[in-house]
Amino acid sequence: MRVLVTGGAGFLGSHLCERLVRDGHEVICLDNNITGKASNVAHLLGARFTFLEYDITNYIHVSGPLDAVMHFASPASPIDYIRLPIQTLKVGSLGTHKALGLAKDKGARFILASTSEVYGDPLVHPQSEDYWGNVNPIGPRGVYDEAKRFSEAMTMAYRSAHGVNTGIVRIFNTYGPRMRIQDGRVVPNFITQALCGKPLTVYGDGKQTRSFCYVDDLVEGIVRFLNTDHPGPVNIGNPREMTVLEFAHIIRDAVNPAVDIVFKDLPVDDPKTRCPNIELASRILDGWEPRVPLEQGIKPTVDYFRQAMQDCD
Ligand code: UDP
């Protein structure tokens, strides 16, 4: 296949590109590098992999055929999308429109990287795809949540109005090598804090829950989904749910048992729970389920941060 990946130099995008190249496909990766970085994909450059620094909120032209357009471009960490609210809204709206137009033009399957954030602060638990969500459109996270909700609506409109073979995947918390050290999310924060002997910063009382999926498991689910004609939305994530405080203990035990745990203010609109129902994924993706236990997946993640960190300040 010949596949275009937007946001291909980001954390998830780079793992997806790597997997597609390894599977023998030709990949064109577009990224404007506002949260991605070219070095994430530098090792892939070659006959089957092209990287172009480009802002996909502008018209996208690609010559030659495409079998798939995979739209993974967006800031995805709360501190990034709060810092970049307009870019986040633009890539979810204008960027999705442009990427869909390209897929339509090429007759390509279109995959939208959506998010568990469409469920907002969920009132249904675990979250299955038929839940409509509980989102504050004007809160700090609204720029991301609503951009992704719009992008889902736009994707469905291109399916019904233009017959594009679209698929929506809702991605839950994912971790692994190439997460940005400074992106403010709980995984890089706790691991770098533990590596530096600093206290782990638990926000609120730490009773809010998250469910963490290793990146290879996520990519496997997405590649299987690419190879179907299913419209989704389909949740991809790891249903092992834990409190943030439990997660802090797991990281502390694994990385540096000497560090303290301290409590900081809970960010506004921080969802209280998050756990994917993955029955649909299992049914339509040939029994897909996460295989990598957290205790195993954090090892390569910690190794990555150890190497990537310049110093502890
Ligand atoms: N969190 C935390 N300490 C940190 C960073 C995050 O306790 O240093 C919490 C955050 O409040 C949230 C959870 O960890 O409840 C996951 O946050 P993250 O930013 O990773 O992603 P989210 O799932 O909220 O999008």
Q: What is the DSSP string of 154-200?
A: HHHHHHHHH---EEEEEE--EE-TT--TTS--HHHHHHHHHHTTPPE
Ligand 1 mutation pick, 182, 186, 193, 246, max ligand atoms within 8 A of CB: 186
Q: Which of 147, 174, 140 is nearest to 266 (CA)?
A: 140
| 126 cis-preceded (ω within 30 degrees of 0) | yes
Ligand 1 centroid distance, CA of 196 (Å): 19
Q: Is the CB of 267 under 6 A from ligand 1?
A: yes
> Using the 8-state DSSP alphabet, how is residue 276 labeled?
B
pLDDT for residue 313? 73
Atom of ligand 1 nearest to the CA of 187: 20
pLDDT tens digits, 189-224? 999 999 999 999 999 999 999 999 999 999 999 999
pTM recorded for the entire structure: 0.97
pLDDT tens digits, 174-186? 999 999 998 999 9
Q: What is the CATH number of domain 2-174+212-236?
A: 3.40.50.720
Neighbours of 262 (CB within 10 A): 12
| Domains of the chain, residue spans | 2-174+212-236, 179-210+240-274+293-308
Q: In one letter, which amino acid is 112?
A: L
Q: Which sequence positions are flagged as catalytic?
A: 144
- Tell me the C-alpha distance between 136 and 131, whole Å: 16
Domain 179-210+240-274+293-308 homologous superfamily, CATH: UDP-galactose 4-epimerase, domain 1 (3.90.25.10)
Confidence band, pLDDT 50/70/90 cuts, at residue 312? confident
